[in-house]
Chain A
Amino acid sequence: MGKSDPPATVTRRSFLTRAVVAFSTLTATPSVAAEQPQALGIPAWMKSPGVGVSEYGHPSTFEQKVTRTLLRTQPGTTGSGASRTPLESLEGIITPSGLHFERHHSGVPEIDPTQHRLLIHGMVKRPLIFTVEALLRYPMVSRIHFLECAGNSQLMYGASPPNLTVGQAHGLVSCSEWTGVPLRYLLGEAGADPSAPWILAEGADAAAMSRSVPMAKAMDDGILALFQNGERLRPENGYPVRLLLPGYEGNMNVKWLRRIKVTPTATMTKDETSRYTDLQADGKALMFTYPMEVKSLITRPSPGAPISGAGLSQISGIAWSGRGTIRKVEVSTDGGQTWTDAELVAPVFSRALTRFRHAWRWNGQPAILKSRATDDTGAVQPTRDKILADHGSNVIFHYNGIVAWSVAANGEVKHVFA
């Protein structure tokens, strides 16, 4: 097979020109259009007024099954664990705040913002302490960025494919608009020593979760985020203030931020030594592996989002890179023998989820779907085989390899290693 499109793939243009024909074809397939023709009546909800206005809106009661998924906590604890974003149920690039993944190291603290303080000290001329009210008066920026837990997709290091939905296996990634104060403003006010190479960031949770962060990153694009998707941070995302380090592994974006210490060395906290280091096959571990590397997933169809019938359908997915902007996503519907460029859906931002779409005419036969992302540094999403060959299977963290779905004749979709 050369560069030509595989038979079952259609280009975007042909998708558009055939759309009208295709729609009638789709409605003729049994599973999509099981309805019998009948005279159209007036539905019940048009025959009386609806409910009134409300103080805070919620999703439709018919969408109640769309929840964070695979909630898991450490034995004997209620708050040390994770929940995942149901990627198979979402579209676009923004994750609703209530569905943003969670990873807590000792639960979600209930913080009174009037009592919360942020301290900046260490190698500074003027140690400063800030109230949240004061932070809210600073000039702010708004940025759309993904957050991904370093341990996302860790089951891909295992011996057999996970029998889970795409969200359950890969949903430790979410994307929000974050608004807050550039960290360099406050480091500047404190007179941080420009030669100091590190800061320590510490949270106000019961683990006082802490990570060392390169000063260069803090000064470049670190943000003290106060707002998520337009409203104040959710408690599980660090209310009242969290650190945001675009592109860096999730746990460095310290939630409930209470202290920044400018330091001459990395502090070597528990979560940068015993955790979040990447054990290689030779027994050595990589340390300070910060950016989340280029990655993509097909979210529909996917395990959890089966295809409802043969014919023309749309492959939809997300791609992201902690090093920059997604330049290209290729899709294969034949197990990786041939690849076709998918459409990147605007807006495409650096270190944000990027939505891609690809028209696919499924012939109803078993198929293997894959996606492969490339970022603007030229980095290409590697195969799982390459990751295992380069790093071994003990790593746990930073899996960014290609993921494959098998589509069965009945439309069911499963993880496969292919």
Chain B
Amino acid sequence: MSSPKALAVVSMVLLAGCAPAAHRETPDLGRIVTPADIAGWDISIPPDGTGLPPGSGTAVAGIAVYEQKCQACHGAKGSGQPNDRLVGGGGTLASKTPVRTIGSYWPYATTVFDYVRRAMPYTQPHSLTNDEVYAVTAYLLHQNGIIGERDELNAQTLPRVKMPNRDGFISVYPEPK
């Protein structure tokens, strides 16, 4: 029974059973979903802006959103207190007391939109409309001197905003061999 030939046959059967597609060995209990099913969950926005929703906003339109929904935690005009300061701090990163804000530290404007939409306001995430998220993003960028108060942010313009600290990061992944 345990002739080399018999072993070879057994080996071939085993290989045929598992080699081509590893997933055949696992239960495969997921349900296939369509892009339409996924849309409501697919909220992450990378730097190239893929996935940004329709809508738009300006800093002027964002004043009311900020004052009503953000100011209690982040202070007048993003000045901070009781929670994170969002505005200013330029030129401080190499000092003894660096001030990390959207304007001084964040490398991508898309991150502001992504984070506000998924997590803010703290007590009511997922409550802002897309227009409100664009508007308050524009407000914060304008307060940091990055865009004009009437510059419109939308799916096309937001990824083109260059943040002041865009080149301030050194990726250490992947590590050199």
Contact = CB atoms under 8 A, between A and B. Distances in A.
The contact size tier of chain A is: 35 or more
Contact of A268 (B72, B94, B96, B107): B107
A270 interface: yes
B26 A138 contact: yes
B177 to A, nearest CB: 13
Contact of A270 (B22, B93, B96, B111): B111
Interface in A199-254: 200, 202, 206-208, 210, 214, 216
A128 B22 contact: no
Given A188-B23, A285-B170, A267 B33 contact: no
Contacts of A128: 30-33
Interface string A281-297: 11111111110000000
B163 to A, nearest CB: 10
A128 B27 CA distance: 13
Interface stretch (B38-46, B62-70, B129-137, B140-148): B38-46
B21 A188 contact: yes
B161 to A, nearest CB: 13
Contacts of B72: 76
A70 interface: no
B168 to A, nearest CB: 6
Contacts of B110: 268
11 contacts: A77-B122, A128-B32, A129-B30, A208-B119, A265-B46, A273-B108, A273-B169, A279-B93, A283-B94, A286-B172, A287-B171
A17 interface: no
**Which of B110, B115, B169 gathers most chain A CB within 10 Å?**
B169
A289 B41 contact: no
Contacts of B33: 119, 121, 127-129
Interface stretch (B3-11, B98-106, B150-158): B98-106
A115 interface: no
